Structure 1
């Protein structure tokens, strides 16, 4: 019997997890990875040379990435949110253990076709081909394209949030820096522009170094910052679903996938409602009804007040709101529902509706550490940050920069918005070629058609659920892929 061969395209954390899972199923498997980056197994967001100010949005106690345990390798208090660089060093150690069993092609794969096996850029044949590209190249957002051209013409600063090298090497003194987006990436950038410039926190106050920008202006469609996660394990445990409640939600997800889009989301929220009611002693149905139709429309507070309220709930000084409880409960259920969502059939419309509902909850479920929210509050109080509601075309392009309103002209723009995972926007030649040849189809995310071809990660959103999590990379979906694709099962 010949030795099986696997090609993996893109080798960040998910590719690393897939290779480990594959070797656990087929120990003598021959693996060839195509990864041009300098840190295989790490990806762009966890580089070991990343700035220490950039934090993971999970505490050590929740960082379940399999064996060896993160805490055993690098330590860290259970409540600490580790720097992304530490996670990168941990992933690099795992890659080094795996390295003797893997052939590494340090290049971007640009073509793949099937000819008695998968041929990738002339190499092969491979029995199996796995795409784990993270965020492949996509058509540039029209707004970003226009702003990038404006910056080039006017010799202005226009940077991406990651990698952070350019941000760290820029002199920010006296500048007005606008941040497109106000999610986790923006909080990393804010830390780089302040703590990374030599500033420090002194209790609840920020002590400036003098090297910070004159003003930092994060803007989004609603101006609302993400809500921090519970500050301690004890507070976090208040949101643990009971075993019976977990089973009820899993059953609801399975049933929801047989329903119409509207009925599916209703089915899911009906399963969540009793858990929220038990924890908050409040009827959650009015909030959930609004969330189904217009996510975020329930939030009546201004952005600064919302930040203060979120911190109070995270620190246990204020009873959790329905929204806060829903977000934390859903975060704890994600591992339970990923498998059933992937395994069950359902129309693209229904899957899209459930994914949209989950994405709306990210303002709570994907929240930052309390430390990041405290820094944001201190910078607002210091006058270094102004949260802004802004949208194109209200932002005017002027010779000196970007006019956000009649008082703010930003001379630097940092893009903190990660492109969406829509397969229709992917420009990667290998993916486009596989679609054109009929090996892949777009059906609520990328879906393999030809045996031996698999896809894991962001581009499967709709076929999979909650694909942006580091934990998901090393979770059951990856293990199940290895079992089905490389074991005795004929399923793709």
Structure 2
């Protein structure tokens, strides 16, 4: 059987899971993995270049798809010294544990190297090219050709899989007082004990705050509580989190995994909504019915029966926006910790968690007006629910609040952000905020074809009139000239237009499975209908 030559650009979780599922097919493979960084198998969110030791992965062990070994099994195989390095105790390891990102990066690298050894022993040809940045991809009758920073292989590939992960501004766009993302040099920078503004309140913003405060003090356990001790020379440190809504994320909650099936908002029922004159309203009827069946008391409390797709978000957030955000966080933390200890599931939270994945399947095919309404309302509820953060992250925010270091500002929709010399200035609600250091931590933004860093591919998509890349069920490009069916787009930022929740490790595994299945069966069914 002829070997299939495949290039995987990026060796983070998406690239690793793709290789893992390709190896499950009955096809002899010749795979080359290209990694821009010095060490393959880690991925930007888990790399020492991008994160610091205190930063936690926003996924519990039980949710991480195994590569070769389940993550918890791998953890239990680590020496005590390695666990201690990351503040873990062997007796405290369990399947709901949130661990440091750096440790998860070690897992993925170990698994990639072990998988590569196993694949070579089975007769596959696997090459890992570290420190090699792919700069362009060209197509001709013989296949796809890659240009890279090291000269590139002088032969074409049958298939190229772009698994480049998140894409944030480079560190060279940052200054000593302004960081366009938490991943643009913040970890290596020395931040003064001054007024620091952080745009955003999600886990990315919490990570940014941790990167700053750990330069000026340390967290300390006080029984079941957490405290923060500021260094004597850092008394002027103040951190302000900012967002339009002025609310904090809630703590991750207990629920059954794998997810139980939905009973009303099923895939066929949601798909049928697209055939009617008001798809979003029909879909919301199913969402409302699912929540009302799961948790009638919650539905009654927020008046769900009288809400629609446009008013649901306001009712959902109303109580939190009316409360002091730190008091709310303290109560929420106590609630979720009790529920985890007692294995209690809050039904409405669990319903929303399952609903966001089901509803996402119809989002690409919503009419433009309905898509705008979805983004303005229901999407915000789903994001708030699935982006709950580790309990320890909330404890840290509360410890910083108790130490007088952290505050939260509500900006609303009408504010101006300007740069005045080394300072960042924000004008809102007739007041002016000035920051010696500013960090934009609003997370990954959806990107278009024009943002792709590969000129020939970018030109082909422009010639095809694809401002947003169109991909099939197996993530192969569609209607893109010589790239059609040969290049799989598994880079998350370019999929977010039509899959707004396509972030996280489980999404990486889902995409990888679809790519491998497509290569095995040559499926060409369209995945998204854009524009």
**TM value normalised by structure 2:** 0.75
**How many Å apart are 1:194 and its aligned residue?**
2.6
Task: Give the corresponding residue for 1:117.
Answer: 143
CA distance in 1, matches of 2:441, 2:297: 34
State how 1:95-114 maps to structure 2 within 5 Å.
95-99=112-116, 100=120, 101-105=125-129, 106-114=132-140
Q: Which residue of 2 aligns with 1:321?
A: none
Structure 1 unaligned residues grouped into runs of 5+? 319-323
* Partner Cα distance (2:459, 2:233) in 1: 48
- How far off its partner does 1:484 sit? 1.6
Post-superposition Cα deviations, 1:231-284, rounded to whole Å, max 9, x if no partner, equal xx4xx34x99754x3574333332234444533542442353234425746353
> Residue in 2 aligned with 1:303?
325
Matching of residues 60-99 of structure 1 within 5 Å: 60-75=61-76, 76-99=93-116
- CA distance in 1 between partners of 2:469 and 2:206 (Å): 33
Taking a change above 3 Å as real, the CA distance of residues 424 and 7 of structure 1, as seen in their structure-2 partners, is closer
The aligned residue for residue 290 of structure 2 is 272
CA 1:188 to 1:275, structure 2 compared with 1: closer, same or farther past 3 Å? Answer: farther
Q: 1:443 to 1:27 in 2, by over 3 A?
A: closer
Change in CA separation of 1:473 and 1:377 when aligned onto 2, cut-off 3 Å: same
Q: CA shift at 1:303, angstroms?
A: 2.9
Tell me if structure 1 keeps the 8 A contact 2:56–2:99: yes
Match of 2:177?
157
Deviations 1:72-100 (A, max 9, x none): 11133333211001110000012212445
CA RMSD of aligned residues (A): 3.8
The structure 2 residue matched to 1:129, chosen from 157, 160, 163, is: 160
Count how many residue pairs are aligned between Structure 1 and Structure 2: 466
- The Cα shift of 1:185 comes to 0.6
Is the Cα–Cα contact under 8 Å of residues 10 and 162 in structure 2 kept in the other structure?
Answer: yes
For 1:126, what is the secondary structure of its paired residue?
A: coil
The answer as to 2:510 corresponding to 1:486 is no
Q: When the two structures are superposed, what TM-score results if normalisation uses the length of structure 1?
A: 0.80
Q: CA deviation at 1:473?
A: 1.0
The change in CA–CA distance for 1:442 and 1:278 in structure 2 (over 3 A counts) is same
Q: Contact 1:177–1:412 (CA<8 Å) still a contact in 2?
A: yes
Which of 458, 461, 474 is the aligned partner of 2:509?
474
Within 2, Cα distance between the matches of 1:129 and 1:491? Answer: 19
- C-alpha distance in 1, partners of 2:447/2:109? 29
- 1:194 match: 213
Q: 1:170 aligns with which of 172, 179, 190?
A: 190
Deviation at 1:332, TM superposition (A): 4.0
Partner SS state of residue 156, structure 2: strand
Secondary structure of 1:119's counterpart equals: strand
Separation in structure 2 between the aligned mates of residue 287 and residue 52 of structure 1, nearest angstrom? 44
DSSP 3-state at the match of 1:38? coil
**Alignment partners' CA distance in 1, 2:25 and 2:485:** 18
CA distance in 2, matches of 1:425, 1:264: 35
User: Over residues 109-146 of structure 1, what are the superposed CA-to-partner deviations in whole Å (9 max), with x where a residue is unaligned?
Assistant: 323223232222274422222222223478x9xxx99x
Question: How far did residue 366 of structure 1 move?
Answer: 0.8
Give the superposition deviation at 1:315. Answer: 3.2
1-structure distance, mates of 2:218, 2:106: 26
Match of 2:273 among 240, 245, 256: 256
Match of 1:206 in 2: 228
